[in-house]
A and B are shown apart, each in its own frame.
Chain A
Amino acid sequence: MKRTRSQKSEVRSQKKAGAGLLSSVFCLLSSACRRFHTRNLAWIFLALLFLAALFSDRIAGASYAHQFRDFPSAPISWRFLLGTDALGRDRLARLLAATRISLLLAPAAAVFSTALATLIGGLAGYRGGLIDRIAVRAIDLMLSLPWIFLLIAARALLPLNVSPAVSVLITFALLGALGWAGPARVIRAGVRDMRSSDFLLQARACGCRGFRLLLRQLAPNLKPVLLAQFWTAIPLFILSEANLGLLGLGVSDPLPSWGNLLRELETDLAFNPGIVACLALMLAVLGCFRVVTEQKTEVRIQKSEDRSQNNSLRGRPLII
């Protein structure tokens, strides 16, 4: 049976459409797989590293503060996988302990700074007027000072001759206390957008006021923004701690931190695999956080957009 020219062109166009559809589905699937793999690999790496850091003494076979006095500045060996420092302390144990500090305290500082930003940005955005103007001025002031200058000035003005444990807490508390300005600006903008939304109008009409409105209505809708700010703050705080440690204002000895470990570069000028390992681990962790942050932000923003569309169409069920 012979096909006419029009039938042939129709079949060709159907094939083209099918191929186009197939290729777009393939593209979507491959992109989804790639994203899934990258994100999951990042999560798996971070989880394994966190576990290793939690059991650092068992893995390294020694405490981060233990001195092997017969082996100062020992090279890499089966006994000391990353060698020892000038005081004979196992570099692997110190690296894992530093990782534990960063992976535990940077998220804690990020929670603190996001909470502070939510309070300030939320109040400023919701109340407006004088409170908003004061908050905006404070945000402008904090953002106009270079981050490292602000950190150095504030850290140096706090007690320096304190125990190592207190120095860790001071460092990360300071990061949390000073890192609220950027997130507060974003949260304020988010709250201002929501102020005139249907679901808030409905809530107000039902008698929901003040903090109750902020906590029960605004906060759940701000969750995507808050999570994005939280995930963005973690790598920033890890980097800032390393910078402070390198400038001698971070965590004090014998507690290790990534900044302290990198500081060995000042005294140990030769190529040192232990320091390179520290730098490589830091790059890997920050890279993983970047992957996680980017994808979390994308997903959350998408969800937030979907929810805001739904809210505008149907109205959000009230939780008063």
Chain B
Amino acid sequence: MSALKHYAHLLVSLAVTVLIGGFLTAALVRLSPGFGVDEHSLDPTRDVAGMQARQAARPEQRGFLAYSLRHTAAMFRGDLGVSRNWNRPVTDLLRERWPVTAQLMGVGILGGWALALAFALPAAIFPNRIWNAVAAGLSGLLLCVPSAALALLIFVYAGPVRAVVALAVFPRIFQYLQNVLSHAAAEPHVMAARARGISPGRILLWHILPVAAPQVLALAGVSVSMAFGAAVAVEVVCDFPGIGQLAWKAALARDLPLLVTLTMLVTLATQMANAVAGMVSGERGEVGA
């Protein structure tokens, strides 16, 4: 019963956060300078009265609160509105573009985690000063390069652009992962296992990873947000038709329906990832305890 209450509370807080995010974005877009200016109004051949009538007929011009409520209610019915900039339903735009972003993020998250684990695991089992220095140097270097610059550099020199997300995610995960694993490796039970001559692989699998698992899983949730941030830069710089590029264009064009929907979806995705990671890590923690 208490678990059910916990999940219900989680769902409600998720919905409230997403709604507040959407509402705040809508307010920001509505108040931004240049909102509602139609590019057709610059055309001198158009009829002024007709233009004004068209402008007034727009749902977002009538009243901000009413528009926000109507938009939210329509979202619950599955209608995400029509993009002003693209003049197409937002659902269609998302359907077309999400595979590009999903692929980019998937490759990035897997690659970033693989790199981070490849550097952090050996350091936890066989602590070595040179290995640690190489790993810290590489992650420090990548942490100091803006992801857009990294994408541009790799793009200019015809490198694998899809690897940029992995290279952006790796240093952020590695630093935390190394801390967690080194703390777990210094626990008394691990030292006792070492003293008893248990093999390093067995120590890692049975003694270090179970202790570090809750924090590592929590990190997995956060890495979704990191990957999306890097994917936005990569898509804009390399002209990939994904959700990140769509968000950038929507922001530049002050496309209210698209931007509100994207903000709500991104908030939902990152909150869901964090919630799932939190639930799994919580269960792992309980099992461990």
B263 and A145 form a contact (CB under 8 A): yes
A279 and B145 form a contact (CB under 8 A): yes
B233 and A247 form a contact (CB under 8 A): yes
A153 and B247 form a contact (CB under 8 A): yes
**Other-chain residue from A149, A158, A246 in contact with B237 (beta carbon distance below 8 A):** A246
**List of B residues within 8 angstroms of A157 by Cβ:** 28-29, 32, 251, 254
In the complex, how many angstroms separate the beta carbon of A1 from the nearest chain B beta carbon?
Answer: 42
Is chain A's interface secondary structure helix, strand, loop, or mixed overall? helix
B229 touches A (CB below 8 Å): yes
With both beta carbons as reference points, the residue of chain B lying nearest to A241 in the complex is identified as B146
User: Total interface residues on A, using CB and 8 Å?
Assistant: 34
B281 touches A (CB below 8 Å): no
Please, how many angstroms separate the alpha-carbon atoms of A293 and B248 in the complex? 32
A283 touches B (CB below 8 Å): yes
B247 and A158 form a contact (CB under 8 A): no
Interface centre among B141, B146, B148, B271 (most CB of A within 10 A): B146
B133 touches A (CB below 8 Å): no
**List of B residues within 8 angstroms of A108 by Cβ:** none
In the complex, how many angstroms separate the beta carbon of A312 from the nearest chain B beta carbon?
Answer: 25
With both beta carbons as reference points, the residue of chain A lying nearest to B33 in the complex is identified as A159
B21 touches A (CB below 8 Å): yes
Beta-carbon contacts under 8 Å, B244-289 to A = 244, 247-248, 251-252, 254, 259, 263, 266-267, 270-271, 274
Q: A265-B152, A265-B153 are in contact. Are A283 and B144 (CB under 8 A)?
A: yes
With both beta carbons as reference points, the residue of chain B lying nearest to A239 in the complex is identified as B146
**List of B residues within 8 angstroms of A148 by Cβ:** 147, 229-230, 232-233
In the complex, how many angstroms separate the beta carbon of B23 from the nearest chain A beta carbon?
Answer: 10
**List of B residues within 8 angstroms of A290 by Cβ:** 140, 143-144
A144 and B274 form a contact (CB under 8 A): yes
Beta-carbon contacts under 8 Å, A269-290 to B = 269, 279, 282-283, 286-287, 290
Please, how many angstroms separate the alpha-carbon atoms of A242 and B149 in the complex? 8
Q: Mark A141-154, 1 if CB is under 8 A from B, else 0.
A: 10011111100111
With both beta carbons as reference points, the residue of chain B lying nearest to A258 in the complex is identified as B146
With both beta carbons as reference points, the residue of chain A lying nearest to B21 in the complex is identified as A141
A262 touches B (CB below 8 Å): yes
B192 touches A (CB below 8 Å): no
Beta-carbon contacts under 8 Å, B108-151 to A = 140-141, 143-149
Please, how many angstroms separate the alpha-carbon atoms of A154 and B29 in the complex? 9
With both beta carbons as reference points, the residue of chain A lying nearest to B144 in the complex is identified as A286
With both beta carbons as reference points, the residue of chain A lying nearest to B226 in the complex is identified as A146
In the complex, how many angstroms separate the beta carbon of B274 from the nearest chain A beta carbon?
Answer: 7
B270 and A144 form a contact (CB under 8 A): yes
Please, how many angstroms separate the alpha-carbon atoms of A246 and B28 in the complex? 23
